[in-house]
Amino acid sequence: MKRIGILTGGGDSPGLNAAIRGATLAAIRKHGTEVIGLIDGFNALFEDTGRPGVGTDSGLGSPALVRLGEAEVQDIHAFGGTILGTANKGDPFQMILRDEKGKPLRDADGKVLTRDRSGEAAQRIKELGLDALICIGGDGTLSLARSMFERHGVPVVGVPKTIDFDLAATEATFGFKTAVQVASDALDRLRTTADSHDRVLILEVMGRYAGWIALHAGIAGGAHAILLPEKPYDPKAVWKRITTRFRRQRKFSLVVISEGARPIDGAIAVAELREHPAAHVVLGGAGTRLRAEIEGLYAAEAEAVIAAGGYPPDAPEVRVVVLGHIQRGGTPLAEDRIVATACGAFAVDLAASGRFGTMAAWVADGPAEVPLEAALAPHFVDPETTPLVRTARALGISFGDQREADDDQ
């Protein structure tokens, strides 16, 4: 194995640089292999997207390709982000067609035009003499890697990166633990201000359609309600939970809501639609919608009490905090660095052994080989069987359904 490529794709995640470093050092020191970094994921195979400050003149005919040596990856394991850059629109099977000015071409209905250029990507990989391509990413990037392997025979090995923890066949995806810690720290800080002002504070966290961050952070941060994408919630149940606490003199409440959570008979909150056919919609607004639902129920209660000749009971103020990309940035936790480094290094071992179409998963206390097909199976919270859901219910945490006991935990 003379030369390999490394790319990072999808959303950035704490630990990406540790994975790049692990793969690069293992390739050079253990296997004597040259390492080429692809800037901005698969896009590097099609256009000049070089970033200043990454590597040196590679002599490979494109600033989107850089040579990675020991000097280039020295001490990067503690840094957030990725020195190679990343993109969530670099799909070789749906590359945007552009005019001479670089603007996307559109059809008569205004839809962005794309073309399958995966064959060109595969040919470019051959021309570069890459004996393997290490793809560090989540479900989107690894799905593309799998397709390139199955359709074009590209020798790929995956490394599990995602804060969402929505990859299967692995006990860890690096970035997840750091994101949970950031959300837990936020809850610790919100608790003191919520308690001081007798408020309900709603924390919206990332995770897309998987509720793992919300579930873990909610338990770690002492939330009183956790709302998951996998379990549509009843706004009345959430309102009842926080109202009971408030009127029993447990004045404040903390609610964690995943960005992909939705009410019963409601849709997922979308902040932005992207034009690229392969791009994900931008989720956002779940916390704001929940606030409106809760305040609407307080208003309806007050109106009914007034109509009956009574005086409406007190209701807490409700505030929303959207944690957003803070969960993706900054220094990765030690555990994420270990998983990233070990899986990055093991991915090179797999490549050296010709074990392509696989992923370097984290199993028990170390990396292990799993097929990409297994890694890409659905991995979501099961509201009925996931052990931590049962733990949360035992603590009296609400998931927004009516069957839960109305206690004062």
Q: Assign residue 54 the CATH number of its domain.
A: 3.40.50.450
Shared-domain flag, residues 280 and 149: no
Sign of CA dihedral 98, 99, 104, 110: negative
- The reply to whether 164 belongs to the active site is yes
Shared-domain flag, residues 339 and 309: no
Shared-domain flag, residues 43 and 148: yes
- Domain boundaries, position 352: 3-175+332-375
Residue 202 lies in a domain: yes
- Asked if 39 contacts 50 with a C-beta cutoff of 8 angstroms, the reply is yes
Q: Apex CA 110: angle with CA 108 and CA 115, to 5°?
A: 85
pLDDT tens-place string over residues 33-90: 999 999 999 999 986 444 554 444 567 778 899 999 999 999 999 999 999 999 877 8
N-terminal to C-terminal alpha carbon distance within the chain:
59
Which helix (H) or strand (E) segment is 321 a member of?
strand 318-322
The one catalytic residue in 40, 164, 336, 349 is 164
Residue 406 lies in a domain: no
- With a CB cutoff of 8 Å and minimum separation 6, the contacts of 394 are none
Shared-domain flag, residues 106 and 9: yes
Shared-domain flag, residues 273 and 184: yes
Mean pLDDT of 263-278: 83
Judged against a pLDDT cut of 70, whether residue 391 lies above it is answered with: yes
Shared-domain flag, residues 120 and 191: no
Residue 12 lies in a domain: yes
pLDDT tens-place string over residues 309-361: 999 998 999 999 999 999 999 999 999 999 999 999 999 999 999 999 999 99
Shared-domain flag, residues 27 and 163: yes
- pLDDT averaged over every residue in the chain: 92
What's this model's pTM, rounded to 2 decimal places? Answer: 0.94
State residue 58's pLDDT score.
61
Shared-domain flag, residues 205 and 99: no
Sort 393 into a burial class: Cβ within 10 Å, 0-12 / 13-18 / 19+: middle
Residue 405 lies in a domain: no
pLDDT tens-place string over residues 6-44: 999 999 999 999 999 999 999 999 999 999 999 999 999
Shared-domain flag, residues 103 and 64: yes
| DSSP single-letter state for residue 96 | E
Shared-domain flag, residues 170 and 180: no
Shared-domain flag, residues 41 and 161: yes
State residue 279's pLDDT score.
63
Shared-domain flag, residues 339 and 288: no
Instruction: Say how many C-beta atoms besides its own lie within 10 A of residue 48's C-beta.
Output: 12
